[in-house]
Amino acid sequence: MVENRPFLTLLSHLVVLIGVIIIAFPVWMTFVASTHSQQTMLQSPIPVLPGPHLIENYTKVLTEGYGRIGNTPVLMTLTNSMIMALGVALGKIAISITSAFAIVYFRFPGRMYFFWAIFVTLMLPVEVRIVPTYGVVASLGMLDSYYGLIIPLIASATATFLFRQFFLSVPDELTEAARVDGASPMRFFWDILLPMSRTSIAALFVIQFIYGWNQYLWPLLITTKESYYTVVMTVSRQANVVDGVPSWNLLMAMAMLAMLPPVLVVVFMQRQFVRGLVETEK
Amino acid sequence: MEKRVTFNERWLPYLLLGPQIIITLVFFFWPSGQAIYQSVLIEDVFGGNSKFVWFENFAQLFRDNSYAHSAQITVVFSFLVAAIGLGISLLLAVMADRIIRGATAYKTFLIWPYAVAPAVAGVLWGFLFNPSVGIIAWMLQGIGIEFNYVINGNQALLLVVIAAVWNQISYNFLFFLAGLQSIPKSLIEAAAIDGAGPGRRFWDIIFPLLSPVGFFLLVVNIIYAFFGTFGVVDSLTKGGPGKSTEILVFKVFNDGFRGQDLGGSSAQSVILMVVVIALTVVQFRFIERRVHY
């Protein structure tokens, strides 16, 4: 800062520290709850420090599940979430990068119509048109399948725009050189454009992985078979069992497992995450 | 902006665009068209027959008290989420921007809630405020406040706001921090030399220069509160108690799937589409302006 004010610096540290603590508090309590026995978690006040049942609880939810509405082992729901998140992220990147390539590097009739058709999708979140979209997916026979979980979510205007912006900034000389050397468009795409887009792809991947992992309403609607349940929807379902007291220790172990993968992605790919967040909003 | 050098191919571009366009047509345009179509029909209770009724579904919605109530809750909810969320994250960003040592560590600790699913965030906060075992509910009871979001509507709404703000705070924080870091240091230094204290510098220089970011975040937060908080509401309160947390996007789902009122739900979908489109246009106009500066 421009001047030395020890008191203000101290205050800044203090405020940010308190912020960090308040923000981390729910997750700390979740972690603590996941390490105690069911009995301990039933009497208020509950402990604020971890207990001895960590391994036991996590092994139980991972392999057996926590059965109130059926026994869905969390390992299975985690796998489903992983398939869905990877499918959504990679699918979005794949179809967006090729459409951006078509829009930027070719002149063809109807180009602008296609561009606007993609643009409009930006304006229609799944939640808004949920009932008719469900109808469409049902009539295509895509309920209870990975296709149904993934494909309706992979159209992406933001990703297409991001790649379009990036391609427009690629120097024309590269294209000319490729053409002089006799490279076909697809050769140019694979050997020059794709390697150059690495950082954009990584940034988008982080954002879209989180988006796919955290989907809730969509998997809730289109899956009825337990073998397709995702972890996020299972956590919420189990928390809302009407009759009886939930086993908080197991429920919270499940919640921890549901949070872990996307949080790790954000923490370890922080730079790409920040980049992706800022760029997808341009 | 256009490319000077392009390729000449007849069919390749269509092939490249194909997947995206097909998915867009099948999963965006078709359902949206159906929503519009169904919003002007009334379906027979026994199924099968449906009748064209012009704007009867919309008229019915506007006469319906529960819709007005839901709209009102949505407005209050979005206002609270945006105001509290922006306030806290601006404070944190301004303070974090002052810190030189340990800034990256703080940043890491502030950005991860973005990765938590809204539905899971709802479960976490529900646990903290659970009337029988929640630690915060217990503490509140200690100081004489009876907190039971399961039966008290206002408390339920407050809890949904807290969970929603918590989930969105990292996003706001990152954008505010980026905005703060893009303010030229020379401006701040010049003001300091002229004798302006930290408070004065904040209100007269930093705050006005940050207002474009603030406005952008306001729109994003309203969109988030309108459409991104379904998971929070569904896992915390299911719109209850009564209908005290039934925001519009939850009502669309509830009326369509639980109530089986296709016409009414479609009419609501159409209204929400108009709202999103309006908000998106505002957001884009604003971004275009920022680019031209």
Contact A3 B188 (CB under 8 A): no
Provide the pLDDT confidence category of residue A98 given band limits of 50, 70 and 90.
very high
Residue from the list B38, B249, B280 with its beta carbon closest to the beta carbon of A127: B249
**Residue A201 CB partners (closer than 8 Å, separation 6+):** A93, A97
Provide the pLDDT confidence category of residue B46 given band limits of 50, 70 and 90.
low
Q: In this model, does residue A229 exceed pLDDT 60?
A: yes
- Residue B291's pLDDT is what? 42
- Residue B286's pLDDT is what? 67
CA distance A131 to A99: 28
Q: Range with the lowest mean pLDDT among A30-44, A231-245, B203-217?
A: A231-245
- Residue A242's pLDDT is what? 54
| Report field, pTM of the whole predicted structure over 0.80 | yes
Please state the three-class secondary structure of B125-161 as a single string: HHHHCCCCCCHHHHHHHHCCCCCCCCCCHHHHHHHHH
CA distance A51 to B129: 21
> Among the residues of chain B, which ranges form H helices?
12-24, 30-38, 56-63, 65-98, 103-111, 118-128, 135-142, 153-181, 185-193, 198-201, 207-223, 230-236, 248-253, 262-292
- Residue A180's pLDDT is what? 87
Contact A41 B133 (CB under 8 A): yes
- Residue B79's pLDDT is what? 92
Average pLDDT, chain B: 83
Contact A232 B16 (CB under 8 A): no
Cβ–Cβ under 8 Å, residues B89 and B173 = yes
Please write the tens of the pLDDT for every residue from B201-213.
888 888 888 888 8
* DSSP β-bridge partners for residue B50: B43
Contact B99 A13 (CB under 8 A): yes
Handedness of CA B211, B217, B221, B227 (dihedral sign): positive
- Residue A82's pLDDT is what? 93
The arithmetic mean of pLDDT across residues A252-268, rounded, is 89
Contacts of A271 in chain B (CB under 8 A): none
Q: In this model, does residue A34 exceed pLDDT 60?
A: yes
Provide the pLDDT confidence category of residue B121 given band limits of 50, 70 and 90.
very high
- For chain A, helix (H) and strand (E) counts, in that order, are 15, 0
What is the SS3 assignment for B52? strand
**Residue A68 CB partners (closer than 8 Å, separation 6+):** A238, A241, A244, A246
CB atoms < 10 A from the CB of B47, how many?
A: 8
Contacts of A136 in chain B (CB under 8 A): 26-27, 30-31, 34
The arithmetic mean of pLDDT across residues B35-57, rounded, is 70
Could you tell me which chain A residue has the CA closest to the CA of B185? A2
- Residue A94's pLDDT is what? 92
- Which pairs from B204-208 meet CB under 8 Å and 24+ separation? B206/B94, B206/B180
Cβ–Cβ under 8 Å, residues B188 and A2 = yes
**C-alpha pair distances (Å), B244 with each of B41, B158, B258, B289:** 29, 11, 18, 39
Residue type (1 letter), B6: T
Contacts of B100 in chain A (CB under 8 A): 1
| Of A103, A175, A168, A111, residue with least CA distance to B5 | A175
Please write the tens of the pLDDT for every residue from A111-155.
888 888 887 776 677 777 777 888 888 888 888 888 888 988 888
Q: What is the DSSP letter of A2?
A: -
Is the minimum CB–CB distance between B235 and chain A shorter than 8 Å? Answer: yes
Cβ–Cβ under 8 Å, residues A197 and A166 = yes
Please write the tens of the pLDDT for every residue from B83-106.
999 999 999 998 888 887 777 788
Contacts of A40 in chain B (CB under 8 A): none
- Residue B239's pLDDT is what? 75
From the candidates B17, B21, B224, which should be mutated to test the interface with A, based on the most A CB atoms within 10 A? Answer: B17
- Residue B56's pLDDT is what? 74
**Residue B97 CB partners (closer than 8 Å, separation 6+):** B177, B180, B181
Please write the tens of the pLDDT for every residue from B51-88.
676 777 777 777 778 888 888 889 999 999 999 999 99
Q: Range with the lowest mean pLDDT among A156-160, A225-229, B255-259?
A: B255-259
CA distance B55 to B38: 11
CA distance A31 to B122: 16
Task: Give the side-chain half-sphere CA count within 13 A for A13.
Answer: 9
Contacts of B143 in chain A (CB under 8 A): none
Handedness of CA B164, B170, B174, B180 (dihedral sign): positive
Q: Range with the lowest mean pLDDT among A154-168, B28-42, B187-201?
A: B28-42
Percent of chain B topping pLDDT 90: 13
ipTM: 0.87
Q: In this model, does residue B293 exceed pLDDT 50?
A: no
CA distance A227 to B26: 26
Contact B34 A135 (CB under 8 A): yes
Q: What is the DSSP letter of A46?
A: P
Cβ–Cβ under 8 Å, residues A111 and A103 = yes
Q: In this model, does residue A53 exceed pLDDT 90?
A: no
Please write the tens of the pLDDT for every residue from A58-90.
887 787 776 655 567 888 889 999 999 999 999
Retrieve residue B67's tokens.
Answer: 């819709």
With residues binned 3-state (H G I as helix, E B as strand, rest as coil), the percentages for chain A, rounded to 5, are 70, 0, 25
Residues 22-41 of B with CB under 8 A from A: 23-32, 34-35, 38
| Of A191, A183, A274, A237, residue with least CA distance to B178 | A274
Contact B257 A131 (CB under 8 A): yes
Residue type (1 letter), A61: V
Please write the tens of the pLDDT for every residue from A199-213.
889 988 998 999 999
Q: In this model, does residue B176 exceed pLDDT 80?
A: yes
Residue from the list B115, B189, B216 with its beta carbon closest to the beta carbon of A265: B115
* Furthest C-alpha separation in chain B: 78
- Residue B84's pLDDT is what? 94
> What is the count of residue pairs from A and B with beta carbons less than 8 Å apart?
302
More confident residue, B263 or B143: B143
Contact A132 B32 (CB under 8 A): yes
Q: In this model, does residue A32 exceed pLDDT 90?
A: no
Contact B21 A117 (CB under 8 A): yes
